[in-house]
């Protein structure tokens, strides 16, 4: 039993340091930009499938920013989504972040200077154990 | 209350192992946690917990270098063996499936005690949850003082309402568990609450008395 336990621990620890990819890392995703043409239906969240009131509250007070709306799989509880907020807030170009649990979306307000890269967002979402599957960018 | 007395007694009588980890006890007292749910944090995240049931009182702090595994230390006051020791713990995410409405996880968990590698445990923990439903199981094979025993538990739960991000979230759960040293299954209701980075879970069964978990992530 001791040998089995030791071997199992060694194997699993080796695996942990190996590839950090998640099985569904390469899930198909959509990247759609609304840069430069904000219009009412988008702003009120209807076409983005974001809770309209939540979206309005999010953009309230933001005069100039890029809004990244990220579709996330596996974001089923508040407690497990907390890491997403903490991870993105480390980026100085993130002005604000919010989570819409009911729609499975993460809203990120970036500075205008930020070049928004889906791969970077995807990596941060995976670091929290979920998968980013789509991105829409709005410009305020 | 029994739980409060139990934790107070634990902290008054716990003998700190000679490893310079007193700071951890202090942190764990301030922050608290739950041992089973979310045994791995986000990459670079830490979790601190306090736990109490009929078998032990403990404080556990773990750090996740990656979302795939966590390393931690658990200070244990073992009620059954009447011993104090520390467990160096390693948890690895074996499998995760994310969908738009659910997440499923399977973890390997293990620990080696400070008083010798003969005292250790290993096991599997699994869960599946949506925003409304939760189900999970836990299995541990424990070796302690040349005695081998198992801990098994199953849990199902439902969220009576779906809160938004930042709200107080509540789960009503039913848990059943069996420790092979005690030979009987104990089934009892559990309430789980979390808000922000803080989670609290409490359950009560006639056979096993109180279960309580307190957890914070940072």
Domain coordinates in residue numbering, chain A: 28-139
**Do A137 and A68 meet the contact criterion of CB atoms below 8 Å apart?**
yes
Contact state of A78 with B199 under an 8 Å Cβ cutoff: no
Give how far B207 is from chain A: nearest CA, Å.
31
Chain B nearest CA to A24, separation (Å): 8
Of the listed ranges A40-54, B18-32, B152-166, the one predicted with least confidence: B18-32
Buried b (16+ CB within 10 A) or exposed e, A77-91: bbbbbbbbbbbbeee
Closest by Cβ to A12, choosing from B95, B108, B129: B108
How far apart, in Å, are the Cα atoms of A65 and each of A62, A76, B170? Answer: 7, 28, 35
Query: Does A8 have pLDDT greater than 80?
Result: no
**pTM score:** 0.77
Q: Could you tell me the two tokens for B26?
A: 């202090």
The stretches of chain B forming alpha helices (DSSP H) are: 2-13, 22-30
CATH number, span A28-139: 3.30.70.100
**Parallel, antiparallel, or unpaired for β B83-98 and A94-100?**
unpaired
Burial tier of B112 (Cβ tally within 10 Å: 0-12, 13-18, 19+):
buried
Identity of the residue in A20, A23, A101 whose CB atom sits nearest the CB atom of B164: A101
Q: In what order do the strands lie in the sheet with A30-33?
A: A30-33, A131-139, A66-73, A105-110, A94-100
Q: Domain coordinates of chain B in residue numbers?
A: 2-217
Decide if A81 touches B, using CB distance below 8 A.
yes
The Cα–Cα gap between B57 and B50 comes to 8
Q: How confident is the model at residue A32 (pLDDT cuts 50, 70, 90)?
A: low
Look up residue B168 and give its DSSP letter: -
Separation CA A83–CA A85 (nearest Å): 5
Pick from A48-57, B42-51, B176-185 the range whose average pLDDT is largest.
Answer: B42-51
For the ranges B6-10, B24-28, B58-62, the one whose mean pLDDT is highest: B58-62
Q: If pLDDT is split at 50, 70 and 90, which confidence band does B175 have?
A: very high
The Cα B50–Cα B7 span in angstroms is 9
Task: Say if A84 is an interface residue toward chain B (CB within 8 Å).
Answer: yes
CATH for B2-217 is: 2.40.160.40
Task: Note the pLDDT of residue A54.
Answer: 86
- Using CB atoms, pick whichever of A12, A13, A78 lies closest to residue B194: A78
Other beta carbons less than 10 A from residue A39's beta carbon: 10
């Amino acid at each position: 039993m001791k040998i089995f336990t030791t071997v199992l621990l060694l194997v699993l620890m080796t695996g942990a340091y190996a590839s950090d990819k998640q099985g569904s890392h390469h899930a198909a995703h959509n990247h759609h930009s609304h840069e430069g043409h904000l219009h009412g239906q988008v702003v009120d969240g209807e076409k983005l499938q974001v809770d309209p009131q939540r979206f309005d509250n999010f953009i309230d007070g933001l005069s100039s920013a890029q809004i990244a709306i990220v579709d996330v799989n596996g974001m089923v509880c508040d407690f497990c989504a907390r890491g997403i907020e903490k991870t993105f807030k480390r980026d100085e170009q993130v002005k604000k972040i919010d989570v819409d649990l009911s729609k499975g979306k993460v809203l990120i307000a970036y500075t205008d200077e930020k070049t928004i890269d889906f791969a970077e967002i995807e990596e941060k979402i995976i670091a929290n154990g979920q998968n980013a599957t789509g991105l829409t960018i709005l410009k305020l | 209350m029994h739980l409060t007395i139990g934790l107070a007694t634990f902290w008054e009588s716990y003998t700190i192992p000679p490893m310079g980890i007193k700071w951890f006890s202090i942190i764990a007292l301030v922050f608290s946690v739950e041992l089973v749910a979310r045994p791995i944090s986000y990459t670079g995240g830490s979790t601190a917990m306090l736990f109490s049931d009929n078998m032990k009182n403990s404080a556990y702090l773990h750090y996740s270098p990656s979302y795939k595994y966590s390393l931690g230390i658990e200070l244990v006051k073992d009620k059954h063996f009447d011993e104090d020791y520390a467990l160096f713990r390693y948890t690895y995410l074996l499998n995760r499936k994310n969908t738009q409405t659910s997440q499923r996880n399977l973890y390997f968990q293990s620990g080696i005690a400070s008083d010798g590698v003969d005292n250790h445990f290993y096991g599997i923990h699994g869960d599946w949850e949506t925003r409304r439903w939760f189900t999970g199981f836990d299995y541990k094979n424990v070796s302690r003082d040349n005695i081998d025993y198992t801990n098994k538990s199953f849990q199902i739960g439902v969220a009576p309402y779906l809160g938004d991000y930042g709200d107080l979230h509540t789960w009503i759960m039913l848990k059943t568990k069996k420790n092979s040293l005690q030979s009987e299954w104990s089934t009892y209701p559990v309430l789980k609450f979390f808000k922000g980075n803080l989670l609290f879970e409490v359950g009560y069964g006639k056979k096993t008395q109180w279960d309580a978990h307190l957890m914070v992530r940072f």
